[in-house]
């Protein structure tokens, strides 16, 4: 492998890693406040992508301008998920898996019914070119996706740390009962977290659609990605998520550069398995902390 | 005895005869069709279904087979082998279908062919490529397309027109694509052409630029993308975005559709695809029949047909012709199978005739290139309607 | 015993001479019933598996590879089941420390990993093209072919694998292993305090569940005649047993009965009427099961 190719893999991986972090951020947020694993997260991203694609077909403007529309498409579902998750019997981690598994199938059926199984690519001419920096090729679409993802995750991290709503969410995720005793409206904080997370997923979907084609079953891989990153970074930690995302992107790009594209998916599955085995104990402790 | 008048007893006999024999309604001949109408390949399956429907309706319009109408029973396999087999068992067993048609995905065609063999109902597949399916001595399996045409035409254009010395081959994981890639590699290596890159292609969010960079580093002049429509879109776009170019991009599957021009716009200029039949692409004396087909299809379904429609149409026509040659009387699996083996029919797809293994004898494809937003035939020379623009840019 | 009576009745059904289509439907239903029973065995010990497809695929590929190398039917089925059982033991060993959601995800990741390996290890598994030409199941000696014809063999073999799975389940539930698994389900830390080592029992449960699932996979390979990574390691064979067993309850025969009923209804009612919505019943069943809380749904 030449040095240029290695450099290319590093840069490409880092860029797409930012998008991975954005995709995982919503998942992690939901996990932190509700202790629920949303296995339909990938489908929500794809749904946002389809919504963005439909809007682009209709309006024809620069895809980035359609981000709010894509986010709005999935945002309301956050309220639905919030209601449903609140009704789950303990252990919530497990039952949320089963519930959201069913919801993911539901979403897939809906998307197949609406858009059929064909592949769609948001091939906007506005993002159709690239720039070359010292032998490394950077496509505009991936640069844009990475920048938007960084901005979004950064804003989320900032909000969680400084803003009142952010602190409320964090308090709720740390210890729900204590937060409630301290006068924080935990129901509202949870609802806000869901809505925020789902909006981010929708926006991530639009970015996804500009660099990869959409099809109803595309979500399962994205869900596995989000789970892997959430386990690596720890629940709710945005900065760690960002680093983890970039690391994952780079590892993936190197795998592709060395072993070819076919081994990409099994490599990801192996990473997830290894993360679970390595952090299994720690996960149990984190899950057990919620009363 | 007065010989001029028919005797009373004869009349009585005649009357009894007429009363005893029940009035025989023309019993329909059942043809089963199994295609993906939902799921990932819904578009392809529906196209084949429409071609088959048109052929059956045309035959019924001509009076059916020896006065018996044809009944087409269609089933959706949803892209799952278990469902395809269930449909095949149901159609042949429960409904007594005399033949089966359809099929786009080899992993479904194979199991259905097994059922057809055991049920002794010939199965004519519309779009099967897997070489293994005709190598197992299944006497009841026939198909109107095969891999050899793809191999011949893609390697031929590279050798004779592009005259490339180094090529890169990317292929999808499906049987058809991976076998095509393997055969192409064999042909190239025998001809002294260096296959610089030979890799499976599994798309994902990750960037293919390292892969494309490798293609460029190895000096490949031609990229053979044995992948599908959406993958071509991704690759072409990434090539444009990364500034990595090749002299020719040849996609054996999926680049022949007009929607390529719609989706990629100016980036589609110069791309090469292959086709066997298309409404605007005709060759060698089939223009008349082709136009009739397009007109009939448009009248019936309200839009233009796609290549797969023609494949379904040709497969159904083969079965219908075989039934016609049987004439009246009972239709047994063996007889129908023999009749199919003898079929020799001209369709817009070309000459439909099967060899001893069930493969088509005369299935041909041509190479098309997108020039000025339209597909033109550029290879083989005897069918070409325009000269290829090589290098593409 | 009730079980034996039911099985005997089912075994002689082909004598009524139904068309091959119905025999095929029933043998597929029995395969799903085997999957559901195997899943239920794991759930009895408190392990919720999202990745039974891993064992199904191992069974299918094991049988396929063995048959393509000329092994007899009994050998291919045994090898497939053994491979799946070994896979189960490996999962149990590796994921022994995990519980609840983490274990469920680990099984999911395992199935995905195996699918990816099967897809890429072309030399062994045929890659994306898979393996074709797997011989079909001949009918048992002594049964004339006129009775049900060509699907009789598959019917009886599927029924036999279901019987095997039910027997395994019954034996385990009534043994010490069953007590240990029940204790694990109720509380692992409590059990550990009482001197119960969880890992060996988990390995046993996974291995047995793997064997039963692998049997179904092996029969599938012979029934369809072809295996492909995306099919045999696909989500369907992980989701279906989960739904069917959860709806079937915790009795021995419950999951199997629910599986047969659900499969037949979906084939004979849903698919002909509304093929596009075929995933919908599964989705709704999963959602309903989590939100409605009947007393019998007590898998922790």
Q: B60 pLDDT exceeds 50?
A: yes
- Contact assessment for residue B322 and residue B297, using Cβ atoms and an 8 Å cutoff: no
DSSP structural state of residue B380 = S
Q: CA of C167 to nearest chain B CA: how many angstroms apart? A: 27
Q: Which among C129, C225, C278 has the least Cβ separation from residue B114?
A: C225
The answer to whether residue B168 sits within a structural domain is: yes
Find the closest chain B residue to C25 by CA distance: B86
The answer to whether residue B193 sits within a structural domain is: yes
- Which helix (H) or strand (E) element contains residue A14? helix A3-34
Between B195 and A290, the higher pLDDT residue: B195
Tens-place pLDDT, residues B205-245: 777 787 888 888 888 999 999 998 888 988 998 888 877 88
Q: Which residues on chain C are in Cβ contact (under 8 Å) with B181?
A: none
Tens-place pLDDT, residues C10-46: 888 877 778 889 999 999 999 999 999 999 999 998 8
A12 at interface of B, judged by CB pairs closer than 8 A: yes
Q: How far apart are CA C124 and CA C122, in angstroms?
A: 5
Interchain contact, B213 vs A8, CB within 8 Å: yes
Nearest to A227 by CA among A54, A11, A23: A23
Q: Which residues on chain B are in Cβ contact (under 8 Å) with C118?
A: none
The answer to whether residue C244 sits within a structural domain is: no
Mean pLDDT along residues A12-39? 93
| Winning range, highest mean pLDDT, from A42-56, A170-184, A264-278, C190-204 | A42-56
Phi then psi for B280, rounded to 5 degrees?
Answer: -100, 5
Q: Are residues B247 and B371 in the same domain?
A: yes
The answer to whether residue B22 sits within a structural domain is: no
Q: Which among A20, A128, A260 has the least Cβ separation from residue B240?
A: A128
Q: Please spell the DSSP secondary structure of B203-235, one letter per residue.
A: --SS--HHHHHHHHHTT-SEEEEES-HHHHHHH
Domain span including residue B83 = 29-145+286-353
How sure is the predictor about A122, in pLDDT bands with cuts at 50, 70 and 90? confident
Between B94 and A290, the higher pLDDT residue: B94
Percent pLDDT > 70 in chain C is 93
- Contact assessment for residue A30 and residue A193, using Cβ atoms and an 8 Å cutoff: yes
How sure is the predictor about B13, in pLDDT bands with cuts at 50, 70 and 90? low
The answer to whether residue C40 sits within a structural domain is: yes
Mean pLDDT along residues A181-187? 90
C211 at interface of A, judged by CB pairs closer than 8 A: no
Could you tell me which residues of chain B have a Cβ less than 8 Å from any Cβ in chain C?
A: 37-38, 76, 78, 80-83, 85-86, 89-90, 93-94, 106-107, 110-111, 114, 118-119, 130, 132-133, 136, 172-175, 177-179, 200, 202
CA distances, A20 to each of A101, A201, A271, B56 (Å): 21, 11, 14, 51
In the three-class reduction of DSSP (H, G, I as helix; E, B as strand; rest coil), residue B199 is classed as strand
C101 at interface of A, judged by CB pairs closer than 8 A: yes
How sure is the predictor about C146, in pLDDT bands with cuts at 50, 70 and 90? low
Q: Which residues on chain A are in Cβ contact (under 8 Å) with B233?
A: 119, 121, 123, 213
Q: Are residues B156 and B45 in the same domain?
A: no
pLDDT attached to residue B20: 47
- Which helix (H) or strand (E) element contains residue B370? strand B366-371
Residues in chain A: 291
Residue with tokens 């990364």: B242
The answer to whether residue A12 sits within a structural domain is: yes
Residue with tokens 């089966």: B100
Give which of C47, C108, C199, C240 to mutate to test A binding, by max A Cβ within 10 Å. Answer: C108
The answer to whether residue B202 sits within a structural domain is: yes
A243 at interface of C, judged by CB pairs closer than 8 A: no
Could you tell me which residues of chain B have a Cβ less than 8 Å from any Cβ in chain A?
A: 38-43, 173, 199-211, 213-214, 217, 229-230, 233-234, 237-238, 240-244, 263-265, 267
pLDDT attached to residue C83: 97
Q: B24 pLDDT exceeds 80?
A: no
CATH code for the domain of B126: 3.40.50.2300
Tens-place pLDDT, residues B378-391: 999 988 888 999 88
How sure is the predictor about A71, in pLDDT bands with cuts at 50, 70 and 90? very high
- Radius of gyration over every alpha carbon of chain A, rounded to an integer in angstroms: 19
Q: Which residues on chain C are in Cβ contact (under 8 Å) with A266?
A: 112-113, 115-117, 119-120
The answer to whether residue B19 sits within a structural domain is: no
Q: Which residues on chain C are in Cβ contact (under 8 Å) with A106?
A: 280, 283-284, 287
Query: Which tokens in the block code for residue C278?
Result: 């075929």
DSSP structural state of residue C127 = G
Percent pLDDT > 70 in chain B is 92
Interchain contact, C129 vs B179, CB within 8 Å: yes
Mean pLDDT along residues C44-57? 93
CB contact set of A121 (below 8 Å; sequence gap of 6+): A209, A212, A213, A214, B230, B233, B234, B237, B263
Vertex A43: Cα angle to A154 and B79 (nearest 5): 150
pLDDT attached to residue B2: 47
Among A131-140, A282-291, B111-120, the range scoring the smallest mean pLDDT is A282-291
Listed by number, the residues of chain C in 115-154 with a beta carbon closer than 8 Å to a beta carbon of chain B are 119-120, 122, 127-130, 132-133, 136, 150-151
pLDDT attached to residue A4: 82
Domain span including residue C105 = 23-238
Q: Are residues B47 and B141 in the same domain?
A: yes
Interchain contact, B76 vs C271, CB within 8 Å: yes
Cα torsion A260, A263, A265, A267: sign: negative
Among A90-104, B130-144, B296-310, B366-380, the range scoring the smallest mean pLDDT is A90-104
The answer to whether residue A130 sits within a structural domain is: no
Q: CA of A157 to nearest chain C CA: how many angstroms apart? A: 26
Q: Which among C20, C28, C275 has the least Cβ separation from residue B37?
A: C275
The answer to whether residue A153 sits within a structural domain is: yes
Q: Please spell the DSSP secondary structure of B167-178, one letter per residue.
A: EEEEE-SSHHHH
Residues in chain C: 300
Interchain contact, B173 vs C128, CB within 8 Å: yes
Find the closest chain A residue to B266 by CA distance: A125
Find the closest chain C residue to A105 by CA distance: C283
CATH code for the domain of A12: 1.10.3470
Among A119-123, A234-238, B129-133, C106-110, the range scoring the smallest mean pLDDT is A234-238
Mean pLDDT along residues B339-349? 93
C147 at interface of A, judged by CB pairs closer than 8 A: no
Cα torsion A74, A80, A83, A89: sign: negative
pLDDT attached to residue C256: 94
The answer to whether residue A123 sits within a structural domain is: no
Cα torsion C221, C224, C229, C231: sign: negative
Note the ipTM here: 0.90
Q: Which among B89, B172, B174 has the least Cβ separation from residue C20?
A: B89
> What is the Cα A40 distance to its own chain's centre?
11
Tally of structural domains, chain A: 1
Tally of structural domains, chain C: 1
How sure is the predictor about B258, in pLDDT bands with cuts at 50, 70 and 90? confident
Q: CA of B84 to nearest chain A CA: how many angstroms apart? A: 18
User: In the predicted model, what is the mean pLDDT of chain A?
Assistant: 89
Tens-place pLDDT, residues A143-155: 999 999 999 999 9
Specify which residues B167 forms β-bridges with: B195, B222
Mean pLDDT along residues B67-78? 93
Q: Which among C99, C110, C279 has the least Cβ separation from residue A105?
A: C279
Q: CA of B369 to nearest chain C CA: how many angstroms apart? A: 29
Interchain contact, A102 vs C110, CB within 8 Å: no
A140 at interface of B, judged by CB pairs closer than 8 A: yes
Mean pLDDT along residues B187-197? 95
Tally of structural domains, chain B: 2
Residues in chain B: 393
Mean pLDDT along residues B275-303? 86
Nearest to C243 by CA among C229, C227, C263: C263
Q: Which residues on chain C are in Cβ contact (under 8 Å) with A273?
A: 106, 109-110, 113
User: What count of other Cβ atoms lies within 10 Å of the Cβ of residue B13?
Assistant: 11
Q: How far apart are CA B102 and CA B35, in angstroms?
A: 6
Tens-place pLDDT, residues C192-229: 777 778 888 899 999 999 999 999 999 999 999 999 99
Mean pLDDT along residues B77-98? 92
Q: B19 pLDDT exceeds 60?
A: no
Q: CA of C82 to nearest chain A CA: how many angstroms apart? A: 23
pLDDT attached to residue C299: 47
Q: CA of A125 to nearest chain B CA: how many angstroms apart? A: 9
Interchain contact, C290 vs A266, CB within 8 Å: no
Q: CA of A222 to nearest chain B CA: how many angstroms apart? A: 9
Domain span including residue A244 = 3-116+139-288
How sure is the predictor about A56, in pLDDT bands with cuts at 50, 70 and 90? very high
Q: Which residues on chain B are in Cβ contact (under 8 Å) with C224?
A: 81-82, 85, 111, 114
Neighbours of A, requiring at least 3 CB pairs below 8 Å, are: B, C
Tens-place pLDDT, residues C256-289: 999 999 999 888 888 877 776 777 878 888 888 8
pLDDT attached to residue A118: 77
A267 at interface of B, judged by CB pairs closer than 8 A: no
Tens-place pLDDT, residues C72-121: 899 999 999 999 999 999 999 998 888 888 899 999 999 999 999 999 99
Q: Which among C21, C127, C275 has the least Cβ separation from residue B89?
A: C21
Phi then psi for C227, rounded to 5 degrees?
Answer: -125, 145
Percent pLDDT > 90 in chain A is 55
Q: B150 pLDDT exceeds 70?
A: yes
The answer to whether residue B270 sits within a structural domain is: yes
Q: Are residues B229 and B316 in the same domain?
A: no
Q: Are residues B231 and B291 in the same domain?
A: no
pTM of the full structure: 0.90
Mean pLDDT along residues B104-117? 93
Tens-place pLDDT, residues B26-39: 789 999 999 998 87
Q: CA of C129 to nearest chain B CA: how many angstroms apart? A: 4
Mean pLDDT along residues B290-299? 93
User: What count of other Cβ atoms lies within 10 Å of the Cβ of residue B171?
Assistant: 25
Q: Which among C242, C246, C279 has the least Cβ separation from residue A109?
A: C279
């Amino acid at each position: 492998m030449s040095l240029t190719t290695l450099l290319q893999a590093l840069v490409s991986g880092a860029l797409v890693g930012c998008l991975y972090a954005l995709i995982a951020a919503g998942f992690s947020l939901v996990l932190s406040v509700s202790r629920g694993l949303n296995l339909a997260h990938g489908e929500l991203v794809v749904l946002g992508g389809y919504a963005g694609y439909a809007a682009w077909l209709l309006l024809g403007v620069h895809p980035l301008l359609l981000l709010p529309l894509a986010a709005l498409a999935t945002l309301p579902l956050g309220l639905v998920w919030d209601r449903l998750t609140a009704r789950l019997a303990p252990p919530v981690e497990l039952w949320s898996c089963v519930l959201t598994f069913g919801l993911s199938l539901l979403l897939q059926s809906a998307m197949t019914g609406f858009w059929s199984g064909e592949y769609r690519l948001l091939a906007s001419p506005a993002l159709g070119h690239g720039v070359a920096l010292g032998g490394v090729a950077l496509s505009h679409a991936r640069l844009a996706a990475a920048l938007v993802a960084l901005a979004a995750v950064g804003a989320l991290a900032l909000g969680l740390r400084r803003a009142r709503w952010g602190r409320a969410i964090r308090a709720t995720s740390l210890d729900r009962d204590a937060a409630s005793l301290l006068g924080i409206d935990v129901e509202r904080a949870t609802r806000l977290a869901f809505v925020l997370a789902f909006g981010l997923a929708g926006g991530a979907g639009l970015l996804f659609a500009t660099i990869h084609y959409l099809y109803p079953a595309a979500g399962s891989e994205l869900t596995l990605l989000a789970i892997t990153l959430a386990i690596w970074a720890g629940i709710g930690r945005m900065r760690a998520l960002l680093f983890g995302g970039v690391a994952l992107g780079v590892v993936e790009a190197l795998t592709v550069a060395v072993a070819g594209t076919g081994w990409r998916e099994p490599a990801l599955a192996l990473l997830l398995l290894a993360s679970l085995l390595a952090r299994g104990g720690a996960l149990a402790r984190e899950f057990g902390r919620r009363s | 005895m007065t010989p001029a008048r028919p005797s009373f007893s004869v009349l009585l006999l005649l009357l009894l005869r007429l009363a005893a024999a029940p009035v025989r309604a023309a019993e329909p001949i059942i043809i089963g069709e199994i295609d993906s109408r939902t799921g990932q390949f819904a578009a392809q399956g529906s196209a084949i279904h429409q071609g088959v429907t048109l052929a059956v309706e045309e035959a019924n319009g001509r009076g059916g087979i020896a006065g018996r109408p044809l009944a087409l029973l269609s089933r959706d396999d949803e892209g799952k082998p278990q469902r395809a087999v269930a449909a095949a068992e149901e159609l042949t067993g429960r409904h007594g279908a005399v033949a089966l048609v359809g099929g786009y995905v080899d992993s479904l065609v194979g199991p259905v062919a097994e059922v057809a063999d055991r049920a002794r109902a010939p199965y004519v597949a519309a779009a099967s490529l897997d070489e293994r399916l005709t190598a197992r001595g299944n006497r009841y399996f026939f198909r109107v397309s095969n891999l050899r045409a793809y191999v011949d035409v893609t390697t031929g254009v590279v050798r004779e027109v592009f005259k490339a010395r180094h090529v890169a081959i990317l292929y999808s994981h499906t049987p058809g694509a991976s076998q095509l890639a393997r055969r192409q590699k064999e042909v190239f290596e025998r001809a002294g052409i260096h296959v610089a890159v030979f890799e499976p292609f599994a798309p994902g969010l990750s960037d293919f630029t390292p892969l494309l960079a490798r293609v460029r580093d190895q000096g490949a002049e031609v990229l053979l993308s044995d992948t599908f429509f959406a993958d071509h879109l991704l690759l072409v776009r990434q090539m444009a975005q990364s500034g990595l170019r090749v002299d020719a991009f040849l996609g054996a599957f999926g680049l022949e559709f007009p929607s390529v021009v719609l989706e990629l716009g100016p980036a589609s200029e110069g791309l090469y695809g292959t086709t066997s039949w298309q409404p605007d692409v005709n060759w060698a004396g089939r223009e008349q029949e082709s136009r009739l087909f397009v007109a009939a299809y448009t009248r019936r379904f309200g839009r233009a047909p796609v290549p797969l429609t023609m494949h379904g149409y040709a497969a159904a026509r083969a079965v219908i012709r075989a039934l016609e040659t049987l004439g009246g009387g009972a239709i047994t699996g063996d007889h129908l199978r023999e009749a199919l083996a003898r079929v020799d029919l001209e369709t817009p797809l070309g000459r439909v005739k099967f060899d001893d293994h069930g493969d088509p004898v005369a299935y041909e494809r041509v190479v098309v290139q997108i020039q000025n937003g339209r597909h033109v035939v550029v290879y083989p020379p005897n069918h070409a309607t325009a000269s290829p623009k090589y290098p593409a840019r | 015993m009730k079980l034996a009576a039911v099985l005997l009745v089912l075994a002689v059904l082909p004598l009524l001479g139904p068309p091959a289509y119905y025999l095929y439907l029933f043998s597929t239903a029995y395969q799903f019933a085997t999957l559901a029973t195997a899943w239920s065995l794991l759930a009895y010990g408190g392990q919720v598996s999202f990745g039974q497809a891993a064992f199904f695929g191992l069974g299918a590929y094991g049988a396929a590879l063995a048959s393509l190398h000329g092994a007899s039917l009994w050998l291919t089925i045994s090898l497939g089941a053994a491979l799946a059982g070994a896979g189960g033991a490996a999962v149990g060993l590796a994921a022994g420390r995990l519980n609840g959601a983490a274990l469920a995800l680990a099984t999911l990741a395992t199935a995905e990993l195996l699918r990816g390996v099967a897809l890429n290890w072309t030399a062994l598994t045929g890659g994306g093209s898979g393996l074709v030409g797997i011989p079909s199941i001949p009918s048992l000696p002594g049964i004339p072919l006129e009775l049900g014809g060509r699907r009789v063999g598959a019917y009886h073999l599927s029924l036999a694998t279901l019987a095997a799975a039910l027997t395994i389940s019954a034996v385990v539930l009534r043994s010490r292993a069953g007590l240990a698994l029940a204790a694990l389900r109720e509380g692992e830390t409590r059990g550990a305090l009482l001197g119960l080592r969880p890992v060996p029992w988990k390995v046993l449960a996974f291995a047995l569940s793997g064997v039963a699932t692998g049997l179904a996979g092996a029969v599938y390979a012979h029934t369809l005649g072809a295996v492909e990574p995306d099919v045999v390691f696909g989500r369907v064979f992980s989701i279906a047993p989960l739904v069917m067993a959860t709806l079937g309850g915790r009795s021995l025969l419950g999951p199997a009965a629910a599986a047969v009923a659900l499969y037949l209804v979906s084939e004979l009612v849903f698919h002909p009427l509304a093929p596009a919505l075929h995933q919908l019943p599964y989705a709704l069943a999963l959602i309903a099961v989590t939100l409605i809380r009947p007393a019998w749904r007590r898998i922790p």
